[in-house]
Amino acid sequence: MRQSQLFTKTRKEAPSDEVAKNAELLIRAGYIHKEMAGVYSYLPLGLRVLSNIENIIREEMNALGGQEIKMATLHPSEKWKQTGGWETVDVLFKLQSRTEKEYALGQSEEEIVTPIAQEYVASYKDLPVAVYQIGQKYRDELRAKSGILRGREFGMKDMYSFHESQQDFDRFYAIAKEAYLKVFTRAGLDAKVTEATGGSFSEKLSYEFMVLTDAGEDDIVYCPSCTHCANAEVTKVKEGGTCPKCGKGVLAKARAAEVGNVFDLGQKYPKAFGFTYKDKEGREQTPVVGCYGIGTTRLMGTIVEVFSDEKGIVWPKSVAPFGVHLISISGASGEDVKKEADALYTSLRQKGIEVLYDDRDLRPGEKFADSDLLGIPTRVVVSEKTLKENKFEVKDRKTGSISMLSLPDFLLRLPLIS
């Protein structure tokens, strides 16, 4: 992508109606556009990041045996009335058409996925099965806040699994948790598996995946020596106490953002819809259901909160919109520089590297400032200086380390870079 053709531009100043770091940086850099409180549009760069996040999730859910689907987000009110959610889920967006028919906007999809599963699952032979989707969710939050961390419309991956028994559910639940940790690790984050309440729809404990950041909304109590971690709302052992799991660590308290969660839904939804299957003996049985969510847009915001500095964003390589930011410093009489940069742009793309090429006719300082703000992991500069040495200047956005590399050396390093 040539930056001169890019739809968006950067801004020097953050908008006055944003306080959250994630929103300030993402808007300044042109990744997102605020539509209204809690609702954002994703622009070319932002969509690239979001797609990278979604693809990581997609790969891990597929590895788990999940099958991707795309469910309706405009829901008939009847199904929500059938489960009671129409009255009890206060964040549910309800709307009425001109014909007075009522609808809900999807804030979660149990009401939709359960009847679909019911249609295709008739026998124990059809179980277990897991389906997931990645898409928009709508929640009528009384107070949207923290940029893209808590919106009224947001991106979410939600998966639902159906099982013959509680034991089979428990088996899958455990491997799903592991898959979740893989997702967050691949996205560059260190997420803690956290015990929490099941919310309004499960009496059992659920597990939340928490990333330490002051921008989060939850307080967690965790052990520095082992993996024990609990939401402050449920834990009986407080900060400063001894870890109940390993018996050694002194529990610490921290602010965290919930980037994912998994729930044991039991049989509530199949029961609401009369969903049964036949077991080996031909008896009617009710399946056990689990649901598993990851907030994709919140994950993106959390990454920005965790990985940024005073100059801008510092994307982890796995989610960055581009692998390489190529900058030409051609000056007034830099036709040779331009030619060389064009050539490098072409050869990098031929190697399958995603490159943002700043071919604009701007002063170097402005290009560098933009580059730091955008946060692409590797910056490559072509200038009269580098031309003389017959090398390229390669800078790592995260460490700031600069090295002069010949083209073969650079290409050799590329697998590590992107």
Asked if 236 is part of the footprint of RNA (rule: CB under 7 A), the reply reads no
Show contacts with RNA in window 366-385 (CB under 7 A).
366, 368-373, 381, 383-385
**CB 310 → RNA: shortest distance, Å?**
10
For RNA, what does the binding mask look like between residues 312 and 351, x meaning CB under 7 A? -----------------x-xx-------------------
> How many residues bind to RNA according to rule CB under 7 A?
57
**CB 282 → RNA: shortest distance, Å?**
32
Please list the alpha-helical segments (H only) found in 251-391. Answer: 268-273, 296-306, 335-350, 364-374, 384-389
**Cα–Cα distance measured from residue 80 to residue 351, given in angstroms and rounded to the nearest whole number:** 51
Stretch that binds RNA, among 12-20, 51-59, 163-171, 405-413 (CB under 7 A): 12-20
Burial class from Cβ neighbours inside 10 Å (0-12, 13-18, 19+) for residue 115 reads: middle
**CB 392 → RNA: shortest distance, Å?**
9
**Cα–Cα distance measured from residue 49 to residue 320, given in angstroms and rounded to the nearest whole number:** 6
Q: Using alpha carbons only, what angle is made at residue 135 by residues 173 and 376, rounded to the nearest 5 degrees?
A: 95
**How many C-beta neighbours within 10 Å does residue 327 have?**
26
Taking the least distance from each CB to RNA, the nearer of 36 and 246 is 36
**CB 206 → RNA: shortest distance, Å?**
8
Stretch that binds RNA, among 59-67, 128-136, 178-186, 357-365 (CB under 7 A): 357-365
Asked if 129 is part of the footprint of RNA (rule: CB under 7 A), the reply reads no
Burial class from Cβ neighbours inside 10 Å (0-12, 13-18, 19+) for residue 116 reads: middle
Which residue matches tokens 């788990």?
Answer: 64
Cβ(255)–Cβ(249) below 8 Å: no
| Structure token pair of residue 217 | 């909304």
Stretch that binds RNA, among 86-94, 118-126, 165-173, 276-284 (CB under 7 A): 86-94
CA gyration radius, the chain:
25
Q: What is the DSSP string of 344-361?
A: HHHHHHHTT--EEEE---
Asked if 288 is part of the footprint of RNA (rule: CB under 7 A), the reply reads no
Q: Using CB under 7 A, which of 4, 9, 122, 204 touches RNA?
A: 9
Asked if 83 is part of the footprint of RNA (rule: CB under 7 A), the reply reads yes
Stretch that binds RNA, among 160-168, 181-189, 194-202, 235-243 (CB under 7 A): 194-202
In the complex, the residues that contact RNA under the rule CB under 7 A are 9-20, 36-38, 83, 85, 89-91, 107-108, 110, 139, 141-146, 150, 199-201, 217, 311, 329, 331-332, 363-366, 368-373, 381, 383-386, 393, 395, 402
